Chain A
Amino acid sequence: MPGDSILESARYLVGQSLDELRASLEGLPVEALNWNPGGESTNSIAVLATHTVHSTRLWLSIAMGVPLPDRDRDAEFRASADDPHAFRRIVQGLADHCLAALNSADAVDWTSMRPTHGRGGDAPPEVAAAYALIHATEHLRGHVDQISLIRQLWEQRSSP
């Protein structure tokens, strides 16, 4: 594997997760996108998809040392879909930004310390580029799997 092996592997794995996210959203009606599978204590697919693409874009930007995008984390958890096609377009646009961030350099010093977005609490104001990349990758994968499971639950609930 030529170049930065860590970066190449991250591009592959993040690309796979984003492909799976797109597939999990495909064809779902607005009712499915906004459905809470376990009542108010669980998040809808619309919330999880919105949150994960915003979060991934931010953490990959931190990892790659590119300008950090604006983000309103609380608003992500209030997201709902009005039009499934428009919702999928928004998610895809943010997914494209994630891949663009990963493609913004050919190599990265993974020991570099990078400023974060002011997470509050005890969270450190800067993290290693390596941490940002690993966190982005595993956080995305986790929510994509949750979305896939919620879709399964929705389809089971909807089947005769």
Chain B
Amino acid sequence: MLTSAAYVLKQDIEELRAAVDGLPDEALNWKPAGEDTNSIAVLVTHVLHSTRSWISTAVGAPLPDRDRDSEFRVAAGRTSDLLALLDDFGARILALVNDAGDIDWSANRKAHMRPDPDLPDYVPASFALLHAIEHFGQHVAHVSLTRQLWDARSA
């Protein structure tokens, strides 16, 4: 399970990097449908922090500090800075997966604070792993489409 997880995460990190690479700085904070939608800077920052936290839960590593609300207030300065963040967090996320030992996937583990207070604080390791990856895939797709829309708007 962890081998496949690492493979898919590595692909997703590369796809996210490709979707950001080459964008002009002003594209990073553009919201495709106004205030109801998130910018690429927000999406990338959020998904990196979220994935590191959920993978930590999945493999039983200590939970990193996280301020979820601040992820949605991010405004990026330069594309190179966002790529550096992506490279740093991408390496940390893959290290968590690659360094994990045997996992009891049914073990209940503490998650970070959830956006909905009705959601449980403790989840099975299996849920944490699959949710981390599907959530990463969700935002990679979101960033890719936002870039397509930016490119179409700029053309």
Contacts and interface: CB of A to CB of B under 8 A. Distances in A.
Nearest to B15: A142
Interface size classification for chain A = 35 or more
Contacts of B129: 9
B48 to A, nearest CB: 16
A140 B135 CA distance: 10
Contacts of A13: 127, 130-131, 134
B102 interface: no
Interface in B31-86: 32-34, 36-37
A41 B133 CA distance: 27
Contact of A6 (B8, B105, B139): B105
A149 B4 contact: no
B94 interface: no
Interface size class of B (residues with CB under 8 A): 35 or more
A41 B148 contact: yes
Contacts, number: 109
Contact of A38 (B8, B131, B138, B148): B148
A96 interface: no
A134 B37 CA distance: 27
A153 B32 contact: yes
B130 A41 contact: no
A1 B153 CA distance: 48
Contact of A152 (B36, B131, B139): B36
Given A1-B106, A5-B105, A146-B141, A138 B12 contact: yes
A128 B36 contact: no
Interface string A86-117: 00000000000000000000000010000000
Nearest to A139: B137
Interface string A118-158: 00000000001011011101111111111001101100100
Q: Identify which of A1, A41, A42, A142 gathers the most chain B CB atoms within 10 Å of its CB.
A: A142
A42 B137 contact: no
B136 interface: yes
A149 B145 contact: yes
Given A6-B1, A8-B126, A137-B130, 10 more contacts: A9-B127, A37-B149, A42-B145, A110-B4, A131-B8, A133-B130, A139-B137, A141-B134, A142-B142, A153-B33
5 contacts: A12-B127, A13-B127, A38-B153, A41-B148, A133-B130
Interface of A: 1, 5-6, 8-10, 12-13, 17, 37-39, 41-42, 110, 128, 130-131, 133-135, 137-146, 149-150, 152-153, 156
3 closest Cβ contacts across the A-B interface?
A142-B141, A138-B137, A38-B152
